Structure 1
């Protein structure tokens, strides 16, 4: 994997906003769309702890995540596939997530100017961190079904 491919993937993560989060319990799998922000290959999102996907995380931290656009042409498909773990965060990690999230989503970063419904909803959320164990970048523009595994050595998991 070249440094150029790392930069491509990090730019892709930065330029997109919504991830599909897959969780599971003994009963059934669950998929949910969440807004995210990344720090390197680590993702942060917020959600109500009463949602089914967060209840699932409390029992089983293993997750699958995809990030992609809605493509009409198979040869244009690009996206990210992640397997890893997710957990609720607090303290310094939560402050970092809030700061990064506020830069990407100004409505969260400037709560004094946010609509009342957003402020009320944000009072009920918790912050979560997804740490990838494996990450693949799909790029059909290189070839149909082309998939690069991204090196997730400790130095690569988050940006400096």
Structure 2
């Protein structure tokens, strides 16, 4: 595995939220969600009634960003990617739930979760984002430093 791929996978492991940019009948929209990753596949959950979920149902092409909050441009670091999002079910949904539960124990231990979490999880759908192109931004290595990352995920 290349050093860059490993660095990006470590970055994904250390972060929790991503911003989704989507487009639908109401126009463009951005929303932040928690995610887990399996290689470069990203899984997230959301209610199907949210604007970004409706947009994904309309057109699965989305863009995402994952970044750190910083106060100065040399500190800017993160991921920009574009690809497709789809709703998942069955065995893949079970895998997403398992990964999510490992990263966010309150979801993984549903029997011990607060009632409002149990109620919320009953209303969500699970989604997978497959990047078609992915870039790692690291201004500490130079202003505008952007490296393309090979992010092929085998089936």
- TM-score relative to the length of structure 2: 0.96
| 2:71 alignment partner, SS class | coil
- For the 8 Å contact 2:84–2:132, the answer to whether it is kept is yes
Q: Any runs of at least 4 consecutive aligned residues in structure 1 with deviations exceeding 4 A, and if so which?
A: none
Q: CA deviation at 1:138?
A: 0.2
Asked whether the equivalents of residues 25 and 55 of structure 2 are also in contact (C-alpha less than 8 Å), the reply is: no
Shift of 1:86: 0.2
What's the CA shift for 1:27?
A: 3.6
Question: In the alignment, does 2:6 pair up with 1:7?
Answer: yes
1:49 pairs with 2:26: no
Shift of 1:40: 0.7
1: distance between equivalents of 2:25 and 2:121? 30
Q: Return the alpha-carbon distance in structure 1 between the equivalents of residues 90 and 80 of structure 2.
A: 28
Structure 2 counterpart SS, 1:145: coil
- Which residue does the alignment assign to 2:132? 133
Alignment partner, residue 105 of structure 2? 106
Residue-pair matches, total:
155
Judge conservation of contact 2:23–2:59 (CA < 8 Å) in 1: yes
Aligned residue in 2 for 1:78: 77
* CA distance in structure 2 between the partners assigned to 1:27 and 1:103 by the alignment: 35
Structure 1 unaligned blocks of 5 or more: none
Q: Which runs of 5+ in 2 are unaligned?
A: none
* 2-structure distance, mates of 1:142, 1:43: 26
TM-score by length of 1: 0.93
Report if aligned partners of 2:23, 2:29 keep a CA contact under 8 Å in 1.
yes
Q: Alignment partner of 1:54: what SS?
A: helix
Distance in structure 2 (CA, Å) of the matches to 1:95 and 1:38: 14
Separation of aligned partners in 1, 2:63 and 2:16: 16
Taking only aligned residues, the RMSD between alpha carbons, in angstroms, comes to 1.4
Report how far residue 26 of structure 1 moved: 4.2
Residue 49 of structure 1 aligns to a residue whose secondary structure is coil
1:16 aligns with 2:15: yes
- Output one character per residue of 1:21-43: Cα deviation in whole Å (capped at 9) or x when no partner: 11101441000000000011110
